[in-house]
Structure 1
Amino acid sequence: MLTLDFIFPVRRLVPYLISLLAALVISSGRSDAQPARRPSIVDQAQAFGDLNDLVRRYYYEEVDQAALYDGAIEGYLSRLDPHSTYISAEDFREMQERLEGSFEGIGIYFEIIESFLTVLSPIEGSPAAKVGLLPGDRIIKIDGKSSVGIKINEVEGRLKGPKGTTVHVSVQREGVDALLEFDIVRGKIRVPSVRYAFMLNDEVGYVKIDRFSGRTSEELSAALENLGSRGMAKLIFDLRNNGGGYLEQAVAVSDKLLDPGRLVVYTEGRRRGSREDHFSRKKPLVPEAVPVIVLVNSRSASASEIVAGAVQDYDRGLIVGHTTFGKGLVQKQYGLQNGGAVLLTVASYFTPSGRPIQRPYSDDRMAYLEAAHDDYDPNADATLDKPIYYTEILAREVYGSGGITPDIALHPDSLTVFERHIVSESLVLEFATKHGQSITRAHVDFNSFFTGFEPGKRELTKFRKFLENTDPKFGSEQERSLKQSAEFVKRRLRRQIAQIRWGTAAAGRVAVEDDPVVQQSISLFDKALALLDSRAFHDMRRGTSPATGSGTDPAFENVR
């Protein structure tokens, strides 16, 4: 092997490389130099066919022709916008399951902990729940074959399967000596897109939407009706980390909050007359007198931005958090003969005030994705010359072409290196799996745990000893970090113990209770109420010019 111990100056390296390349090229026996001209589409198609033939006949190794074609399609689309995407047949099936919110299998949330396939929670009503699988169970065998050391991407192939087929699992359960044996008949599993919906206190309801799937509007209606029956007088609507989904579902969700007949969003393609308007149609499920806070962050995108933009443009609620991703392009799905599909951008979308949401982009897709999550907000940059838009009722200033900027910015505390490490390595979850039952033995149900358990010095000491025996990186520096991060670790312990003992819904309830952004948002309802008062004030003075802002209550002037 040739090694180089020095670096060529750039101007000397280039001719060296060219001469080296020339020495390695075998002449084809032809030299048909042609005058430079712009090739036609027919020429390009012929060149691609020639390339395929050359690779098939002369490439020095056997190649996967299907994979090459996949790469060619991806390369073709890469010259368009960042959201026009090719989806292979396998990925297309997974995407459909996610958007439709259903699949066929046994129905569990799981994690690989210490090489064991560990049940975090059976999905409510699933075959796994019906046979009695519990949070914390370890699946040791699947159909008689060991699953110890299984990889996450292997779980699907062994547990998923057609509805009506049976899979046998052998389960190790805390406190039970022998393995438990279960025959599980696979079924149609519905994965809820409305992950959580509960009351935070006597007045404040909380709803978390993970994605906009085919059943989101239906699920949300049930959740809001339940919260209303329990006395909800204020609502926190959490769209953080929601990457979007169906446009129609975004309109249907907005329908629960807006008066009927409101323009929710419109889309427009390149051709004249291509504009399509989408309106709210029904009486809102959330009464107009109920103040609303919508939580967003940099991972709130697409359909989430449609909802947040409509709520903001009609001054219906307060947008709180971090500026959203800024995906304002609409994709239409086209199936291909190979079983895959193309998500092709066919239009841009605009909020009711006419705001485009799409951020600027270039050919560098990675830079585009990374820029969405930095601390720079183009909408808040006073040095940029950007158009100003006005909300529909109170004429508040809002901006476009850079996501939805919140009315009030709230940012969660960033994690320390130590905190990121124990989370990414699932060390707290592993500790909860081993010790959660014994630590919380006095709490026989979740309500007792939720109201009565707070990790303290004893639990932190036990966790430190666990790290000493488990984590090879743990030393004196990590011990100091553990002391500095004691409050974070306590919150995480409480959440993960709830996960292992009572499942995902219980863990979510604890996580929201300990979420500083949610807790700070509760204190902002006076501003959300001021927004509603301003709307009422405007209604009394209807007829004044919205462009001048003369209909805005002075009490709300300092809230964008």
Structure 2
Amino acid sequence: MKRNRKIKTGISIAAVLVVFALVLSSFNRDEKLFLVDKNLDIYYTLVRELNLFYVDEINPTDLVKTSIDKMLESLDPYTNYIPESDMEDFRFMTTGEYAGVGALISKHGDEVVIAEPYEGFPAQKAGLKAGDILREVAGKSTEKLSTEDVSNLLKGPANKVVRVKVERPGKKKNLEIDILREKIQIDAVPYYGMLDNETGYIRLSNFTKDCGDEVKKAFVELKEQKGAKSLVLDLRSNPGGLLMESVKIVNLFVPKGSEVVSTKGKVKQWDKTYKATENPIDTVMPMAVLVNRGSASASEIVAGALQDLDRAVIIGTRTFGKGLVQTTRDLSYNTKLKVTTAKYYIPSGRCIQALDYSHRNEDGSVGTIPDSLITEFTTKKGRKVYDGGGIVPDQKIDLDRLSSLSINLVRDFMFFDYATKFANEHESIAAPEEFEITDAIFNDFKTFVKERKFSYQSETEEMFKKLLETAKEERYYDVAEGEFEALKVKIGHELDKDLESFKEEVKEMLTDEIVTRYYYQKGAIKSAIREDKGIDKAKEILHNPQAFGSVFTKGKIISMNIQALPAAAELVPLAWEGLFDA
């Protein structure tokens, strides 16, 4: 009896605790709802009073959007409000499809120019070229328009003509060109082919809808028609995209039923595990995956899953470290909220998120995951891997940092403008795999740069200038004037000398810009493959079965001490602010 009474008493206490917990939970929930309603009412009355009494006219739409953007910015960079006006751009980001002329446009000083016409699309077929200055679009002058405004004019209903007036450098008269808009679908796989008799190569630039099918098609062709015995999958500077496409791509190379990624969030409905649901194409072919600091999100899922499952060797530099999952929620008036709802976890159990947005520093800045909280995990074959942000490669590639000269040549459009001039003067060039910058072309580029009165300060010179100003303010300059002036001479530069010192680097970047004018993105990739450290390392490992097998040795530790240095391909976009598809 006593025992039964104790059991009943225990059950009663447990029941009371459960009821108390439910009441407390309900109280907390109701209190939160009250706080939400209270603050929304305050916000509504504040905007109304501003609209009525502020000294100048205000735009309520702009005001509210600014406040929403600032509010969401305090959470993380990926939780965003999408107004109705941006819905077309949002659809393009997820599908890679829009209706327009098929070109990349940007600001070049005060002018809007064609940065790159996409091969095979209306702009290119109508004769537009990189470097063309857009003077009018659909009868409207572009003089005071932003790049976004011009992009919106070029976009529109498919199968409708838009007339553009362009100024072409080297031509006296402006050209008027009619372009028939089409549905534009950007290829997620801009290039695939054979690197040699044995090694296939696939470049994946984003994770838009159906990109998994594009990778599958490329891989099957390389394997069955080209005889590929190994594969390089290039995910460098791929910003990611749709989660399910990353699962489909991993599924091509791992057994059916293998776990690829899981998500965990505050709300249980976001706790999901994604597995390979289809029969794979190949589970044994040696694979290498190329990554860099621009590889993010879905790219990191593919690279991380293939690393955790010991299916591929990862080569390059540490990836970006975006392990946050976003879901879109419909709002009123055809708007949307893209909200972070969960985190990604790859097969070993580690999260790839690098920055901790939920626990900011006292100054409001975001810190990285501290070493004390980094946890050890193991791959399928027992190799040691770690969380704490991004995917650390199995094979590190030290990328050459661009010189200040090259960075400034990019920023001042020297490469771009010279390529425009060169393309206007030369009808054709050799194939991408063969074209080279001769000494004659290089010397012509040097003359061009000088004629444009190009000048720059190196980072060292800029820092020295600040040091000099501080020394003069604090009166240290007077006592060490001779030393300061001697150092100034030593760190100074001469343009001729610098162009010769960094000749190979300059020629490489000039080659890329010129080849793109004649052979577009696919040609630029073909050309760049010739001297690519990542590809060379991949081929070296894939061609050596012993070296490839040693990567997956049990107990092997994948080092965390890798600093990603910016490569040329990652820095070139610095020249173009506000690139827009059109």
TM-score class, shorter-chain normalisation, is 0.7 to 0.9
Q: Which residue of 1 aligns with 2:277?
A: 281
Q: Which residue of 2 aligns with 1:193?
A: 188
- Mapped to 2, the partners of 1:146 and 1:59 lie a distance apart of 34
Q: Secondary structure at the match of 2:372?
A: coil
8 A contact 2:292–2:319 mirrored in 1: yes
* Cα distance per residue 1:444-472 (max 9 Å; x no partner): 5653x532x32232222111110111134
Q: Which residue of 2 aligns with 1:391?
A: 379
Letter in 1 for 2:446: R
CA drift of 1:486 comes to 0.5
Distance 1:471 1:261, change over 3 A: farther
CA drift of 1:153 comes to 2.9
- Mapped to 1, the partners of 2:412 and 2:44 lie a distance apart of 48
CA drift of 1:103 comes to 0.7
**Corresponding residue to 1:91 among 74, 86, 94:** 86
Q: Which residue of 2 aligns with 1:20?
A: none
Q: Which residue of 1 aligns with 2:394?
A: 407
CA drift of 1:518 comes to 3.0
Q: Which residue of 2 aligns with 1:265?
A: 261
8 A contact 1:293–1:528 mirrored in 2: no
CA drift of 1:57 comes to 2.5
CA drift of 1:181 comes to 4.7
Distance 1:346 1:425, change over 3 A: same
**Corresponding residue to 1:249 among 239, 245, 248:** 245
8 A contact 2:375–2:388 mirrored in 1: no
CA drift of 1:344 comes to 1.4
Distance 1:134 1:370, change over 3 A: farther
- Mapped to 2, the partners of 1:332 and 1:85 lie a distance apart of 10
Q: Which residue of 2 aligns with 1:319?
A: 314
Letter in 2 for 1:195: P
- Mapped to 2, the partners of 1:71 and 1:485 lie a distance apart of 45
Distance 1:133 1:77, change over 3 A: closer
8 A contact 1:119–1:135 mirrored in 2: yes
8 A contact 2:102–2:122 mirrored in 1: yes
Letter in 2 for 1:435: F
**Corresponding residue to 1:456 among 428, 431, 438:** 438
- Mapped to 2, the partners of 1:422 and 1:231 lie a distance apart of 42
- Percent pairwise identity: 29
CA drift of 1:129 comes to 4.0
* Cα distance per residue 1:278-334 (max 9 Å; x no partner): 11122333x333221112222222111111111011000111222222222211101
8 A contact 2:392–2:558 mirrored in 1: no
Q: Which residue of 1 aligns with 2:408?
A: 421
Q: Is 1:435 matched up with 2:426?
A: no
Deviates more, 1:189-198 or 1:146-155: 146-155
Q: Which residue of 2 aligns with 1:489?
A: 506
- Mapped to 2, the partners of 1:370 and 1:487 lie a distance apart of 38
- Mapped to 2, the partners of 1:141 and 1:232 lie a distance apart of 49
TM-score w.r.t. the length of structure 2 is 0.75
Q: Is 1:165 matched up with 2:165?
A: no
Distance 1:117 1:79, change over 3 A: closer
Q: Is 1:498 matched up with 2:515?
A: yes
RMSD: 3.4
Q: Is 1:331 matched up with 2:326?
A: yes
Q: Which residue of 2 aligns with 1:7?
A: none
- Mapped to 2, the partners of 1:104 and 1:529 lie a distance apart of 50
Deviates more, 1:195-204 or 1:478-487: 195-204
Q: Is 1:468 matched up with 2:450?
A: yes
CA drift of 1:490 comes to 0.9
Letter in 2 for 1:471: K
Deviates more, 1:406-415 or 1:257-266: 406-415
Q: Which residue of 1 aligns with 2:60?
A: 65
Where do 1:95-134 residues align within 5 Å? Answer: 95-110=90-105, 119=114, 121-133=116-128
Q: Which residue of 1 aligns with 2:213?
A: 218
* Cα distance per residue 1:334-378 (max 9 Å; x no partner): 12113321111222221111112222424669x999978xxxxx6
Q: Secondary structure at the match of 1:319?
A: strand
CA drift of 1:130 comes to 4.0
Letter in 2 for 1:470: R
Q: Secondary structure at the match of 2:260?
A: strand
Distance 1:493 1:371, change over 3 A: farther
* Cα distance per residue 1:469-519 (max 9 Å; x no partner): 113427972222211110011111211111112222212222333333333
Deviates more, 1:212-221 or 1:154-163: 154-163
- Mapped to 2, the partners of 1:186 and 1:389 lie a distance apart of 51
**Corresponding residue to 1:525 among 535, 538, 542:** 542
Report how many aligned residue pairs link the two structures. 491
**Corresponding residue to 1:341 among 321, 336, 343:** 336
- Mapped to 2, the partners of 1:524 and 1:463 lie a distance apart of 38
Distance 1:108 1:369, change over 3 A: farther
**Corresponding residue to 1:351 among 346, 353, 362:** 346
Q: Which residue of 2 aligns with 1:291?
A: 286
CA drift of 1:233 comes to 2.2
Q: Secondary structure at the match of 1:429?
A: helix
CA drift of 1:256 comes to 1.8
